[in-house]
Amino acid sequence: MATSTRTEEFVEHVLNEWGGLVYRLALSQTRSPHDADDVAQDVFLRLLHDATPFKDEEHLKAWLIRVTVNRCKELRRSAWKRRVDTMDETSPALANLEAPVQELVADEVWEAVRRLPDHLRLVVHLHYLEGYPVADVARLIGCNPNTVRTRLHRARKKLKLDLEKEAKHGTNAPESLPIAHEQC
């Protein structure tokens, strides 16, 4: 087993300061409270054993976001995830979430965001929920700022159409216009 390169106090500070961000981002990307728990745990275990010297809190926060996004991608690509059906998204684990996260998850806009393709959902989450400017989102996900702007535009357009469709029909719109997946 690898030895820890960080102090327990440091990891506890990071958990208290940025644990919510890591969990919300993981929940946004995985759409599962169980997977989000696993991803968040993995991220903090990686932090515990990682030797990256952080220049400041922003550098640490960016590292956490990058590792969370990468871990979510790894999970999606895993053989286990491809072969196993996930539990219903109305899992009882949602009842154990913090109140602000419960409100977010219960919101109809959040439901529409959850239906976005991964690449659109990620930029929406980082820009609107975490408050990162476009340039920072681009840096965090390794894309051109114009790509981020395009994704945000497409996400807003898709969300508008989905929410209008829901309002018109009075139901959730599980299927909506397909959007091509872009690579960075």
Q: Output the domain CATH number for residue 146.
A: 1.10.10.10
Answer yes or no: are the C-beta atoms of 18 and 60 closer than 8 Å: yes
Mean pLDDT across the chain, nearest whole number? 80
Please state which of the ranges 3-7, 37-41, 128-132, 150-154 shows the lowest mean pLDDT.
3-7
Q: What is the pTM of this model?
A: 0.68
Q: Domain containing 153: what range?
A: 107-173
**Which among 58, 93, 128 is the end of a domain?**
93
89: pLDDT strictly greater than 70: no
Phi, psi for residue 175 in degrees, rounded to 5: -110, 135
Which among 154, 122, 159 has a CA at the least distance from the CA of 138? 122
Range ranked top by mean pLDDT from 68-72, 164-168, 180-184: 68-72
Q: Does 164 lie in the same domain as 121? A: yes
Q: Does 159 lie in the same domain as 130? A: yes
**Polymer length in residues for the chain:** 184
Tell me, yes or no, whether 179 lies in a domain. no
Q: Does 89 lie in the same domain as 30? A: yes
Signed CA dihedral, 168, 169, 173, 177: sign only: negative
Q: Does 89 lie in the same domain as 23? A: yes
Answer yes or no: are the C-beta atoms of 38 and 147 closer than 8 Å: no
